[in-house]
Amino acid sequence: MNCSISGEVPEEPVVSSKSGLLFEKRLIERHILDYGKCPITGEPLTLEDIVPIKIGKIVKPRPVQAASIPGMLTMFQNEWDGLMLSNFALEQQLHTARQELSHALYQHDAACRVIARLKRERDEARSLLAQAERHIPIYTANAVTVNASSLSNGKRAAEEEDLAHGGKKMRPGITSSVISELTECNAALSQQRKKRQIPATLAPVDAVERYTQISSHPFHKTNKPGILSIDIVHSKDIIATGGIDTSAVIFDRPSGQILSTLSGHSKKVTSVRFVAEGDLFLTGSADKTVRLWQGSDDGNYNCKHVLKDHTAEVQAVTVHATNNYFVTASLDNTWCFYELSSGTCLTQVTDSPGSSEGYASAAFHPDGLILGTGTTEGLVKIWDVKSQANVARFDGHVGMVTAISFSENGYFLATAAHDGVKLWDLRKLKNFRNFSPYDPDTPTNSVEFDHSGSYLAVAGSDIRIYQVANVKSEWNCIKTFPDLSGTGKATCVKFGPDAQYIAVGSMDRNLRIFGLPGEDGPTES
């Protein structure tokens, strides 16, 4: 009989009392000490379960191959071949085990990252819930006061009842004190504009003509690429981008470092705007909300207010020159005027109730008493902020008005739509020049005057820089940058301080900086 492990005739045979299998004593004892179970059946096995068998001394017969030297060599060769095949099989098993281990480690790492993200989202949700709970007593107290006054005033009670049944929200309105503040700001800015001169540090035309890409910075997620909005704090040279991946990124250009990544919106961020020196920051989103962020000393931004006054996507956010108020425009065909410090919506304006067109763009005039909005139906509307009256309408565009920009001299308005760019003279309320840089199937996504009013940037399937002239003179295209994203869609463009560089966002995840080659600063991030 042969050993169940080696297949050879055992020198010291033993038998398992549990399975009745025969083993070589030294082999089964070693296996029991290592594994504690039967190598054949897998049942638990101890040394006490092994019973020795008493037999006479066994003389192993010599195999036929060992009777001659050639036979022995053949036997050794067969043994060697068997050893090599066994070694190869073991190497294959080791390789497979390594691959399985690598895959398991990758899955573990991915699971850890998902868990960390879920924990972060849970903490954010808890924080927002805590903020909401802190406000509940205030709202409750206000409700008690309103109900008490309603009992003493039948007309007020009827108004509250209409509101409860889906009527329009009551707004404080733009008060006389706010109007006085806006008027004083307008007077001061208008006076300064008369003495305003082009700064000596402004990039000259020949420098702009030599601009090329000097850096590219991948900010947003690869699974949802696309930058939809850009804003810059000129005094600090800080750039903000809003992306399709629902986040906004604050970037310090001189150091090439990301200062903060703002998460909280549930859909794409359509508009980003800094307030004053960048201590406050605004984001508008397709999730119908606007968020007001407060900067901290460590460079991070915390969400101060979540504004939910719109019923459709928020497409544009623009800040008043006082830095105390801002306006949001939405596809719900309304624009809202907010007080910045409290996040209160003072008024919500609808031009034509029941109209299907919404607002796709908005911008304040440099003096602050005029607001421009662009609709999804190709119409540009000019509003008197004090009275919220629509004082002018410019038509002629085809498709949605994607962007509007006022020149800093206060005379010109540039609007972009599917059919290109139109320039308007605000003094005569006339269209005096049109640019159609792209083919009929390519919309113009962005248009922007620089702060000096000397240059105009246009973005679509490429980026074009025009030299600003007057109504009668020609506006020459001095530079064309190709869209290096490969998407054919440059979505937003912004001039840096004194037009020393141009920031461009596209439908990939990169913020691209165009300027003079050799300019100080990181080339990649």
SS3 assignment for 192-250: HHHCCCCCCCCCCHHHHHCCEEEEEEECCCCCCCCEEEEEEECCCCEEEEEECCCCEEE
Please report how many Cα atoms fall inside a 13 Å half-sphere around the Cα of residue 69, on the Cβ side. Answer: 0
Residue 413 carries which side chain, given as an amino acid letter? L
Euclidean distance between CA atoms 70 and 77, whole angstroms = 10
Q: Contact, 293 vs 283, CB < 8 A?
A: yes
At 143 the pLDDT is 44
CB within 8 A of 411, min separation 6: which ones? Answer: 425, 426, 427
Sheet holding 403-406, edge to edge: 403-406, 412-417, 420-425, 430-435
Rounded distance, CA 274 to CA 292, Å? 10
Query: In what side-by-side order are the strands of the sheet with 227-233?
Result: 227-233, 238-243, 248-252, 257-262
Q: Which of 217, 190, 159, 235 is nearest to 503 (CA)?
A: 217
Q: Which pLDDT score, from 0 to 100, does residue 156 have? A: 43
- Supply the pLDDT for residue 127: 82
Radius of gyration of the chain measured on its C-alpha atoms: 38
CA-nearest of 430, 419, 499 to 460 is 419
CB 225 within 8 A of CB 241: no
Q: Which residues contact 201 (CB under 8 A, 6 or more apart)?
A: 498, 500
Nearest 5°: the CA angle 480, 482, 486 is 165
Q: Identify the pLDDT of residue 74.
A: 85
Regions in the chain scoring below 50 on pLDDT: 137-167, 520-525
pLDDT computed for residue 243 by the predictor: 93
| Element spanning 269, H or E | strand 269-275
> Do 183 and 176 form a contact (C-beta atoms < 8 A)?
no
CA distance 461 to 443: 8
pTM assigned to the model: 0.67
State the pLDDT at residue 513.
Answer: 94
Q: What is the pLDDT of residues 383-409, one digit of tens each?
A: 999 999 999 999 989 989 999 999 988
- Per-residue tokens: 104: 């398991």
Q: Which pLDDT belongs to residue 141?
A: 42
